[in-house]
Structure 1
Amino acid sequence: MTVVAARDLNAKSLNLIKEVEGWRACTYKDVANKLTIGYGHLIVSRDGFKAGSCISKEQGEQLLKSDIKTATNCIGRLVKKPLTDNQFGALTSWAYNVGCGNAASSTLVRKLNEGNKNVVCSQLKTWRKAGGKVNQGLINRRYKECKLFSS
Structure 2
Amino acid sequence: MASKARLAGLVAAGVLTIAGAVVAPFEGRSLVAYLDPVGIPTICEGVTAGVQLGDTASDAECDAALQHELLTHLAGIEACIDGYLTPNQWAAVLSWTYNVGVGAACNSTLVKKINQGAEYSAWCPELKRWVYAGGNKLRGLVRRREAEYQLCMGDA
TM-score under structure 1 length normalisation = 0.88
The Cα shift of 1:113 comes to 1.2
Identity %: 32
In 2, the alpha carbon distance for the partners of 1:38 and 1:74 equals 21
Counterpart residue identity of residue 140, structure 1: R
1:68-107 equivalences in 2 (<5 Å): 68-107=70-109
The Cα shift of 1:119 comes to 2.1
Counterpart residue identity of residue 77, structure 1: A
Instruction: Please state if 1:118 is matched with 2:133.
Output: no
Spell out structure 1 runs of 4+ moving beyond 3 A. Answer: none
The Cα shift of 1:132 comes to 1.4
What does residue 39 of structure 1 align with? 45
What does residue 26 of structure 1 align with? 32
What SS does structure 2 have at the residue aligned with 1:92? helix
RMSD: 1.6
More deviation, 95-104/110-119: 110-119
What does residue 128 of structure 1 align with? 131
TM-score under structure 2 length normalisation = 0.85
What does residue 149 of structure 2 align with? 146
Preserved contact between residue 33 and residue 131 of structure 1 (Cα < 8 Å): no
The Cα shift of 1:55 comes to 0.7
What does residue 21 of structure 2 align with? 15
What residue ranges of structure 1 are gaps of 5+ in the alignment? none
Query: 88, 107, 110: which is aligned to 1:108?
Result: 110
Query: 53, 58, 71: which is aligned to 1:56?
Result: 58
The Cα shift of 1:52 comes to 2.2
In 2, the alpha carbon distance for the partners of 1:98 and 1:12 equals 18
The Cα shift of 1:10 comes to 4.8
More deviation, 55-64/116-125: 116-125
What SS does structure 1 have at the residue aligned with 2:31? strand
What residue ranges of structure 2 are gaps of 5+ in the alignment? 1-7
What SS does structure 2 have at the residue aligned with 1:96? helix
What SS does structure 2 have at the residue aligned with 1:42? coil
Counterpart residue identity of residue 112, structure 1: I
How big is each residue's C-alpha offset from its partner over 1:105-136, in whole Å with a ceiling of 9 and x where there is no partner? 10000011112121223211111111111111
Preserved contact between residue 37 and residue 43 of structure 1 (Cα < 8 Å): no
